[in-house]
Amino acid sequence: MSIEMLQQAKSDAVAARARFFDTLDEARERLKPGSLANEAWTGVKDKTADAAGNAVEAVKQRPKTVALLLGGLALFLARKPISRAATNVVSRRKRRRKGNEGED
């Protein structure tokens, strides 16, 4: 092996080592908890914006369907208060009828 080849090999090794350490520093930076959290947060924001845009488009295309779905969801979520209110109305009517029957 000639001296020039040895020098070239040494130069290549130094360059490869420098690239390796640059890559290692970059990986360390990307794996920091703050960087990971920031990247995750950015991804969540992007996905949320996409989902919101898709939802707006769906509402524009089918407003009646969306209104029916949201109304059904509201009724489902309010089922217990609605049930209690209906029970109270029925029990009041029964009490009134019993009260009116006693007056005859």
Query: Residue 57: pLDDT above 80?
Result: yes
List, for residues 6-47, the tens digit of each pLDDT value: 999 999 999 999 999 999 999 999 899 998 899 999 999 999
Residue 74 identity:
A
pLDDT of residue 97: 85
Classify residue 66 as exposed, middle or buried by CB count within 10 Å of its CB (0-12, 13-18, 19+): middle
The per-residue pLDDT for 103 is 60
Which pLDDT value is given to residue 1? 73
What's the mean per-residue pLDDT of the chain? 91
pLDDT at residue 102 in the model: 59
Residue 96 is predicted with a pLDDT of 86
| Residue 2 region by backbone torsions, left for phi larger than 0, else alpha for psi between -120 and 50, else beta | beta
